[in-house]
Chains A and B, each alone.
Chain A
Amino acid sequence: MSLQITIDGRSLSVEKGQTLLQVARENGIDIPTLCDFPGLPSHGSCRMCVVEIEGRSNTPTACTTLAEDGMVVQTNSPIVQAQRIELLKLLLSEHTSSCLICTEKSHCDECMVTLRKAGVTTGCRSCSMDGACALQDLVERFGITEIGYPVRYRMLPVQKQDPFFDRDYNLCILCERCVRVCEENHFSSTLTLAGRGTDAIVSTAFGRTHIEAGCSFCGACVEVCPTGTLSEKTRKWDGKPEREVSTTCPLCSLGCQIDLLVKNDMVIGSLPAHASGSDMLCVKGRFGITELVNHPTRLGHPIAVNREGSLPVSWEQAIEAAAEKISSCAPGKYGMLISADCSNETLYVARKFVREAARSNHLRTSSTALYGDGLPVLQRLYGLAQPLSVLSEADIILCLGFDGTYAQSVVDVGLHRAKKHGAKLVTLNANEHSLSKAADEWLRPEPGEEADVIEMLVENTRMGEQQNRLSPIASQAQRVSDMLLKSRQAIILLGPAFLTHPDNLFLLKAVERLVAQTAAQLIILPDSANLAGAFRTGIITPATTAGLQDLEVLHLVGETVPPHLPDQPFILYQNIYPPRRDLPAGLILPAAAFTEEDGTFLDHAGRTRSIQRAVPAPGEALPSWQILCRIARKLGVAGFDYENAAQVRAEYETTGFTGADFAISVPGLLQPGLDVFQWVRREDHAYMGFPLGTLVAGFRRLYPE
């Protein structure tokens, strides 16, 4: 039903149920707001949006007042304008506002350079939000030059004891955007309003740290904060970004779309790419990326290593030396290990390089060890993989080995949304995890007995009838089976922990049967960014192990140096960080990070995701596929003349692959005696073979080694 109202003399036709603020915005009428934020429910706490309504003695907030037929509204009358200014001055009197009204503020930008790094914010110039602050905008809009009220600084200690962001509630205006985004959009209740009156403060329950309070560090609260109260530790002193570049987060297989914030050709932050429909990130994509790609150890120049030491060399020298080693290598004595964190372009060129340039069959990835015995089943299951969006169709979701506490927390949010819309949530996990409290049923076997529980579900759903169950978990499994049998659309979500579980062969086989039995849709969520790409290019194949002792050249692309290399082959080490252990002899070839090259990944559902070059690579570092092409050309091999990633991609997309290409004669990097399983296991939550905790300071707390 349509209503007629008048705003600022304009007669407008509006839908019933719309607030005055919504109507005004839709019609280009600008009402100032502070606590309002897109996607959050109306709150009415800041009172900046007060309006005058004919026939009413008070001035209600436009964000909480529904349009009524015949209403006559003034959004900019002297009364509401005066009220807004007084309200804003009251807020300023409890904010570090002196810079806002300082008569010499124009000098500050050039003169107060060092003070910008203040440990505690005492004014705009030392505030992380300088230039992007909602209060600054309003002060300018209203032309405020004095505060007029006694000022107060609460002298609250700045909360710095959590990783990733600081909290300075001396700057807080109590708009509660953070509380609302946490609760309403992220189904988490980390934050709340504590205290009353002048003591009111946003806090965790009992004033605990965010880690103790169960925060997943998704950073949504930091993004919605209109002031500098919540500030990203690594971005406090950078000010506003100059530009944003949309790309894909490469820190797991979800393929979340992110906006890289760039200033002075440096990535200074990352946010969800709202324009691409990505409205949230987990801690990895939100807070992990800047330190990862700007790490002070990043390689910028090629280095030759021999027994005497290491020596910087030019790319020409490095490429020539690499080509010479490969060409003088006996047939079958060259092997490449490549990370499933690499782009499709690099995986494709690597594959071609091994076959055509190095003339070898030895191409492997550490993922082969990570996913171990279960790989053939996982590869079959990948044919069924669905995107996260199917969660909205489910009436029961069975989460197997999923824990979104500090990774893939966006999946947690999807699960909570599905639950809110009526889906039952069942989780299978031997340990406390992010779904422990939210799940309708938590199947909690002893560690190592997870496969048995899935077998029970398979068996129960096959038998389809109630049986007499002795153990609690068996009767619980029966209940879950009944739910599965009655369900319209079941979804099985396979988390990283089960994919890499030591028993994954049995687990995945049982899951395969359960999927068949229940016609469930399947979501697979590996940690490795481009596992699907590695499958497609045939780089991951079920491994048979053979001796490692014969390799003369070991080429590592985005992989770290394995321990205990018996024959000490010549190592071509191609990565973005220096090797963690000394090379006996080899070449260190600096590669570009995902922020420095164009390319694509295949996400967990096999969809193509793009990465974009946002900044130059450090020094002379090159995209990995380009390094391989240069070596191949030096070897005199044709077919490596790509001018850009798009040309590689065009060839990759028209090529069919079979894993069988590499199924023969595998170098035994993965044989049990070499403790390689241990080596790979440590690389959960890793990028290019390096545990995130060794690169990003805040991750040390979340992913202790």
Chain B
Amino acid sequence: MVKILENKMIVPNICTITVFAPEIAGSVKAGQFAILRVDEDGERIPLTVSDWDAERGTITMVYVMVGKTTQKLATLTTNDTLATVVGPLGNPMEIDLFGKVICIGGCYGNASIYPIARALKEKGNRVTSIIEGRSSYMLYWQEKLKTVSDQLIVITRDGSQGKAGHIGNLKSILAAGTPPDRVIVNGCNYLMMRAAQETLPFKIKTIVSLNTLMIDGTGMCGVCRVTVNSSTKFACVDGPHFDAHEVDWDELAQRRKAYLSEEVQTLRSSMAQ
């Protein structure tokens, strides 16, 4: 049983959860994830560890309510417990002195990009962070990101803060200054795929952190299969970070929908919550 220290919705439909997990907090690195279960017979969901405090033994994850389990998770509160939290899983993000790096986060990626930007910054890189959301009220962790970035650029769909539009803005950002040496993108498949399309003409190495369905997270089940550079990879043990220009995005999108009817079936209930 893992104790919840805090669990709250920070912007519409996006929540942060902080749990007491000292083993994970003591060893996790930027870009790694944990798999949690809300209850013993519950679904297992992978969430990126977006912040941690090794001293206090806590890890913080950000999740979007998109199904039965995440909606159930959102009903829990301080001092409630999770059945299990397993981690750190997956490979850490490759951190080196690249020079100039653009870190892009959308949705839960506003948070999951934070430890990556922090590690890159600590390594001496010049870090530009870009976060995007539907509207100003969908953005969060901006202050945290500012502390680890040389520049923070905000994009909102409705133009209520920063640049108006979507990730299509990346083209003008790339064209404007010195081209970055690397671009890292965390967020929904669409954001990552579109960012990859924008960086391709500039031939900039682009890394994405895939958020496939997973069960065990240790390479046993194969649910997280992705095709990268024409070979099959497991996002959990071979990734989750891959070269965006080598990922088969169409297949990824299809696999994401594999259990859609079952996922909706569990939500088709008139029960009071």
Listed in ascending order, the chain A residues whose CB lies under 8 Å from chain B are 96-99, 101-104, 107-108, 110-115, 117-123, 126, 146-147, 150-153, 155, 160-164, 170, 211, 233-234, 236-237, 287, 290-291, 294, 296, 696-701
Contact B271 A233 (CB under 8 A): yes
A-B residue pairs, 5 tightest by C-beta: A119-B65, A698-B270, A697-B271, A98-B134, A98-B157
Residue B267 CB within 8 A of the other chain: yes
Residue with the highest number of chain B CB atoms closer than 10 Å, among A98, A290, A699, A701: A98
* Residues in A neighbouring B160, C-beta threshold 8 A: 98, 147, 150-151
* Whole-angstrom CA separation of A114 from B256 in the bound complex: 8
Distance between A152 CB and nearest chain B CB, rounded to angstroms: 8
* Residues in B neighbouring A99, C-beta threshold 8 A: 134, 157
Contact A122 B138 (CB under 8 A): yes
Interface residues of A, dominant DSSP:
loop
* Whole-angstrom CA separation of A146 from B273 in the bound complex: 36
* Residues in B neighbouring A151, C-beta threshold 8 A: 135-137, 158, 160
Known: A117-B263, A118-B13. A164 touches B137 (CB 8 A): no
Known: A117-B66, A117-B67. A697 touches B270 (CB 8 A): yes
Residue B190 CB within 8 A of the other chain: yes
Distance between A113 CB and nearest chain B CB, rounded to angstroms: 5
* Residues in B neighbouring A153, C-beta threshold 8 A: 12, 135, 137
Distance between B261 CB and nearest chain A CB, rounded to angstroms: 9
Residue B272 CB within 8 A of the other chain: yes
21 interchain pairs, CB-CB under 8 A: A96-B135, A102-B157, A103-B165, A104-B194, A107-B190, A111-B188, A112-B188, A112-B190, A115-B66, A115-B188, A117-B67, A119-B13, A122-B12, A146-B164, A155-B137, A211-B272, A233-B271, A287-B270, A696-B270, A697-B271, A698-B272
Residue B74 CB within 8 A of the other chain: yes
* Residues in A neighbouring B267, C-beta threshold 8 A: 117, 236-237
Contact B135 A98 (CB under 8 A): yes
Residue B9 CB within 8 A of the other chain: yes
Residue B253 CB within 8 A of the other chain: yes
* Whole-angstrom CA separation of A101 from B160 in the bound complex: 12
* Residues in B neighbouring A115, C-beta threshold 8 A: 64, 66, 188
Contact A119 B70 (CB under 8 A): yes
Residue with the highest number of chain B CB atoms closer than 10 Å, among A119, A160, A170: A119
Known: A96-B134, A118-B66, A151-B136. A290 touches B268 (CB 8 A): yes
Distance between B79 CB and nearest chain A CB, rounded to angstroms: 20
We find that the number of chain B residues with CB closer than 8 angstroms to chain A is 43
Nearest-CB residue, chain B, relative to A168: B12
* Residues in B neighbouring A123, C-beta threshold 8 A: 134, 157
Distance between B71 CB and nearest chain A CB, rounded to angstroms: 4
* Whole-angstrom CA separation of A126 from B158 in the bound complex: 17
* Residues in A neighbouring B193, C-beta threshold 8 A: 111
Contact A146 B135 (CB under 8 A): no
Extra inter-chain contacts (8) besides given A102-B157, A104-B168, A113-B257, CB under 8 Å: A96-B134, A96-B135, A98-B134, A114-B67, A114-B257, A160-B273, A163-B271, A698-B271
Residue B260 CB within 8 A of the other chain: yes
Nearest-CB residue, chain A, relative to B265: A296
* Residues in B neighbouring A290, C-beta threshold 8 A: 268
- For chain B, residues 1 to 54, give those with C-beta under 8 angstroms from any C-beta of chain A: 9, 12-13
Residue B231 CB within 8 A of the other chain: no
Listed in ascending order, the chain B residues whose CB lies under 8 Å from chain A are 9, 12-13, 64-67, 70-71, 74, 134-138, 156-160, 164-166, 168, 188-190, 193-194, 253, 256-257, 260, 263-265, 267-273
* Residues in A neighbouring B189, C-beta threshold 8 A: 111
Contact A118 B168 (CB under 8 A): no
* Residues in A neighbouring B164, C-beta threshold 8 A: 146
Contact A117 B264 (CB under 8 A): yes
* Residues in A neighbouring B70, C-beta threshold 8 A: 119
Contact B166 A104 (CB under 8 A): yes
* Whole-angstrom CA separation of A150 from B136 in the bound complex: 10
Distance between B254 CB and nearest chain A CB, rounded to angstroms: 10
* Whole-angstrom CA separation of A211 from B194 in the bound complex: 46
* Residues in B neighbouring A291, C-beta threshold 8 A: 268-270
* Residues in A neighbouring B12, C-beta threshold 8 A: 96, 120-122, 153, 155, 170
* Whole-angstrom CA separation of A150 from B137 in the bound complex: 11
Q: Which of B9, B135, B136, B257 is the one whose CB lies under 8 Å from A120?
A: B9
* Whole-angstrom CA separation of A662 from B180 in the bound complex: 89
Distance between A159 CB and nearest chain B CB, rounded to angstroms: 10
* Whole-angstrom CA separation of A99 from B157 in the bound complex: 8
* Whole-angstrom CA separation of A627 from B137 in the bound complex: 59
Known: A99-B134, A111-B253, A114-B260. A700 touches B271 (CB 8 A): yes
Contact B188 A701 (CB under 8 A): no
Contact A697 B269 (CB under 8 A): yes
* Residues in A neighbouring B71, C-beta threshold 8 A: 119
Known: A97-B158, A103-B165. A160 touches B9 (CB 8 A): no
Q: Which of B67, B134, B190, B270 is the one whose CB lies under 8 Å from A233?
A: B270
Contact B13 A126 (CB under 8 A): yes
Q: Which of A113, A126, A146, A160 is the one whose CB lies under 8 Å from B260?
A: A113
* Residues in A neighbouring B270, C-beta threshold 8 A: 163-164, 233-234, 287, 291, 696-699
* Residues in A neighbouring B67, C-beta threshold 8 A: 114, 117
Distance between B130 CB and nearest chain A CB, rounded to angstroms: 16
* Residues in A neighbouring B260, C-beta threshold 8 A: 113-114
Contact A118 B158 (CB under 8 A): no
Nearest-CB residue, chain B, relative to A126: B13
* Residues in B neighbouring A147, C-beta threshold 8 A: 158-160
* Residues in A neighbouring B265, C-beta threshold 8 A: 296
Distance between A473 CB and nearest chain B CB, rounded to angstroms: 38
Nearest-CB residue, chain A, relative to B191: A111
Q: Which of A101, A163, A287, A697 is the one whose CB lies under 8 Å from B158?
A: A101
Contact A118 B65 (CB under 8 A): yes
Nearest-CB residue, chain B, relative to A120: B13
* Residues in A neighbouring B138, C-beta threshold 8 A: 122
* Residues in A neighbouring B271, C-beta threshold 8 A: 163, 233, 697-698, 700
Nearest-CB residue, chain B, relative to A146: B159
Residue with the highest number of chain A CB atoms closer than 10 Å, among B136, B157, B272: B272
Nearest-CB residue, chain A, relative to B15: A119
* Whole-angstrom CA separation of A296 from B268 in the bound complex: 11
Nearest-CB residue, chain B, relative to A104: B166
Distance between B270 CB and nearest chain A CB, rounded to angstroms: 3
Contact B269 A111 (CB under 8 A): no
Nearest-CB residue, chain A, relative to B164: A146
Q: Which of A111, A118, A697, A698 is the one whose CB lies under 8 Å from B190?
A: A111
Distance between A486 CB and nearest chain B CB, rounded to angstroms: 46
Residue with the highest number of chain B CB atoms closer than 10 Å, among A104, A114, A160, A163: A114
Distance between B136 CB and nearest chain A CB, rounded to angstroms: 6
Contact B9 A234 (CB under 8 A): no
* Residues in B neighbouring A164, C-beta threshold 8 A: 270
Nearest-CB residue, chain B, relative to A162: B272
Contact B74 A119 (CB under 8 A): yes
Q: Which of A102, A122, A152, A160 is the one whose CB lies under 8 Å from B13?
A: A122
* Whole-angstrom CA separation of A547 from B99 in the bound complex: 92
Nearest-CB residue, chain A, relative to B189: A111
Distance between B169 CB and nearest chain A CB, rounded to angstroms: 10
* Whole-angstrom CA separation of A108 from B270 in the bound complex: 28
* Residues in B neighbouring A120, C-beta threshold 8 A: 9, 12-13, 65
Contact B272 A163 (CB under 8 A): yes
Nearest-CB residue, chain B, relative to A696: B270
* Whole-angstrom CA separation of A658 from B148 in the bound complex: 88
Contact A234 B135 (CB under 8 A): no
Residue with the highest number of chain A CB atoms closer than 10 Å, among B160, B193, B263, B265: B160
* Residues in B neighbouring A112, C-beta threshold 8 A: 188, 190
Distance between B119 CB and nearest chain A CB, rounded to angstroms: 28
Nearest-CB residue, chain A, relative to B138: A122
* Whole-angstrom CA separation of A161 from B137 in the bound complex: 25
Nearest-CB residue, chain B, relative to A268: B268
Distance between A150 CB and nearest chain B CB, rounded to angstroms: 7
Distance between B271 CB and nearest chain A CB, rounded to angstroms: 4
Contact B66 A122 (CB under 8 A): no
